Structure 1
């Protein structure tokens, strides 16, 4: 199994400048390839990454006006064409939306690192063209025969190097009598059949609420500054506006890190119970997001990320992971007698069985039903 490691880089000023240039080159090559792909497609041609790569090398790289492309690793532009090809493949398979152009303002700053040049020695990692960069991590770097898809990225505050490596699956002894059902929700992050208390919603914590309140105030302040500096139909971006935008971006970063950390801890605690299987519902998250009253709450809960982490952690520990059909009535079935309650509505948070008289929290009842689920 391929596991990933993320380490923080501590580049010097000259190295950081090269990293910024690398991000720019990766974005330029991707946008150029996307424009050419669309152009050839409209002409009735069949574009491919090979033809675009050849045209890029013959027309752009040989042009003296683009000599700055040689300041960074050549593998960055090569990988940009691979990334675009993957984006189109996922689009045609229905796994993602149509590829879009990357803007300097909103796109993620990242670039591909040549895998065979990545070497760790004396607290430094070698990155092609950038040089030996200091790094900081709590992980023990394994002896790497090969790095899988190494990427260098910037999150608005720090630089990181992310890469994958081969690791054998965890052969821990599992509890063959323990089947865990997980029901995701908005009030609490998840109700787990084997746990007495649900996994709390981190967005209701004092720290997150304080950050969101601060963010709201800064966004209003930024909006007023934009209106005050409006000239005709254009907005003039002053130094104060730039500072405010940077502060807002860092708060978004902090909120994202808090939520991701909470999900990692929750999924790790479930896996530590060593069940032989984990059962969850196949949620239609994109459909749920269309509800304007719940869209923000659902987005903050990060259901997709929770499911993704459960999948790979179960796979690594040889735990069977099952996603039942999204139309399976886990909330309407009585976890005691199995009677189905057709009249149950979304606003009913307590499940009361008319047959056996069971009274239980709706989400807890659903998690117990999922834990008992019998696959066909």
Structure 2
């Protein structure tokens, strides 16, 4: 048996009283996080911190219970929500130390140095934990399940701490049998929709499926991917379809007074458009990854560096639009949940240059060459189709069974 953790997201339908509690929980969690940020900044100033890594041992953070004593309204909120805020803040410091060099400043601060003549401080360092804003859709809090404090009741309601009445939700799929609820995260999006992500723990049997049904995928800027059977995914390009509408709304935003009520309302209109694009993309990625995981035992892809590719001006917009990195993650967990295999081959493997028919390597192949013509066996084939066949071939040698 293999232990797995997975999150299931559902739309909540709270009544007025429950909505008031959720809004208070959002605000109190944000206040707790901002209090920790303020404590961090105060202690760093006392240490005359300029830049570099944060020495965690020198930072003394009070417990949430100590902070709650100064704010009576926080007593109405679940204490585990504040405990998770403290964990999130510690993770933010760890992320800064691990992923930031401690010397690079954000672009916005650099521009203000030139336009406003202000000086750079440690608060402007890239990755430094900063204050959360109410107007930036950062509305969420997390809680843990302790002795049934988080539970699904009658398949259409969910119980959370501090609320006597369970909240109704749209149950569009069932949790795995014998699963254990570990915790939940409640959030609100830009359309004022409440959602709950339920984290569960469950066990699946370790299975071995036949490995004769293998598919190779080669990433394509134009078609999303081309598989080893010659089919193209034909991603609908949702961002491109909404780009003109988005530009129009962004031009209106640029003419509003910064942080004014009109500016905030216009920002929400833009967020709704972006949220729709995101939902369309997620829906398409989930459906196509599910289809592949149902029809194939092994899927092989190239471990290309998508972040590096996104730095290229000609490739960045399409790459960020199609979400190929998310697609690989979705495909991976869907295959593994079914006892199947997801294989990544080395990003330096020359799949595009190798002839899938005879194995000859064409060193002078250019990115503009969309048709592969082999000089040895005289085969003429689509470049991406040829690469997907090569990926499938090398992936079949890396099978775990």
Decide: shared fold, TM above 0.5: yes
**Residue 56 of structure 2, aligned match among 47, 61, 85:** 47
1:353-364 paired onto structure 2 within 5 Å: 353-364=374-385
Match of 1:249 in 2: 271
**Residue 110 of structure 1, aligned match among 128, 135, 140:** 140
Distance, in Å, in 1 between the alignment partners of 2:26 and 2:299 is 40
Distance, in Å, in 2 between the alignment partners of 1:282 and 1:92 is 26
Match of 1:146 in 2: 180
Whether 1:79 aligns to 2:102 is no
Determine if contact 1:53/1:81 at 8 Å carries over to the other structure.
no
Per the TM alignment, residue 258 of structure 1 is displaced from its structure 2 partner at its CA by 0.5
Match of 2:114 in 1: none
The Cα offsets for residues 20-53 of structure 1, whole Å up to 9 and x where unpaired, read as 2212222222233244345546739953699524
**Residue 312 of structure 1, aligned match among 312, 316, 333:** 333
Larger mean CA deviation between 290-299 and 311-320 belongs to 311-320
Determine if contact 1:330/1:370 at 8 Å carries over to the other structure.
yes
Determine if contact 1:48/1:85 at 8 Å carries over to the other structure.
no
Runs of 4+ in 1 over 6 A off after TM superposition: 170-173
Match of 2:15 in 1: 12
Determine if contact 1:112/1:152 at 8 Å carries over to the other structure.
yes
Determine if contact 1:49/1:82 at 8 Å carries over to the other structure.
no
Per the TM alignment, residue 210 of structure 1 is displaced from its structure 2 partner at its CA by 4.2
1:327-338 paired onto structure 2 within 5 Å: 327-338=348-359
Distance, in Å, in 2 between the alignment partners of 1:49 and 1:135 is 44
**Residue 125 of structure 1, aligned match among 152, 158, 168:** 158
Per the TM alignment, residue 9 of structure 1 is displaced from its structure 2 partner at its CA by 0.4
Distance, in Å, in 2 between the alignment partners of 1:303 and 1:37 is 37
Distance, in Å, in 2 between the alignment partners of 1:146 and 1:76 is 19
TM-score (norm 2): 0.80
Match of 1:201 in 2: 235
Distance, in Å, in 1 between the alignment partners of 2:235 and 2:100 is 29
Match of 1:223 in 2: 254
Match of 1:162 in 2: 197
Whether 1:213 aligns to 2:244 is yes
Determine if contact 1:41/1:47 at 8 Å carries over to the other structure.
no
Per the TM alignment, residue 164 of structure 1 is displaced from its structure 2 partner at its CA by 2.2
TM-score (norm 1): 0.85
Match of 1:98 in 2: 127
The Cα offsets for residues 58-109 of structure 1, whole Å up to 9 and x where unpaired, read as 3x2222xx21212211111110111222334445454998353233232532
Match of 1:269 in 2: 291
Per the TM alignment, residue 263 of structure 1 is displaced from its structure 2 partner at its CA by 0.8
The Cα offsets for residues 330-365 of structure 1, whole Å up to 9 and x where unpaired, read as 111111111111111111122111111222222111
Determine if contact 1:332/1:341 at 8 Å carries over to the other structure.
yes
Distance, in Å, in 2 between the alignment partners of 1:254 and 1:107 is 15
**Residue 36 of structure 2, aligned match among 33, 51, 64:** 33
The DSSP-based 3-state class of the residue aligned with 1:30 is helix
The DSSP-based 3-state class of the residue aligned with 1:111 is strand
The Cα offsets for residues 210-246 of structure 1, whole Å up to 9 and x where unpaired, read as 433222222223323x1xxx5xxxx46244x444332
Whether 1:259 aligns to 2:281 is yes
Distance, in Å, in 2 between the alignment partners of 1:296 and 1:246 is 23
Pairs aligned (count) = 358
Match of 1:136 in 2: 170
Gap change, CA 1:200 and 1:100, over 3 Å in 2? farther
Gap change, CA 1:108 and 1:10, over 3 Å in 2? same
The DSSP-based 3-state class of the residue aligned with 1:100 is coil
Gap change, CA 1:53 and 1:238, over 3 Å in 2? closer
Per the TM alignment, residue 197 of structure 1 is displaced from its structure 2 partner at its CA by 1.6
- Contiguous gaps of at least 5 residues in structure 2: 102-125
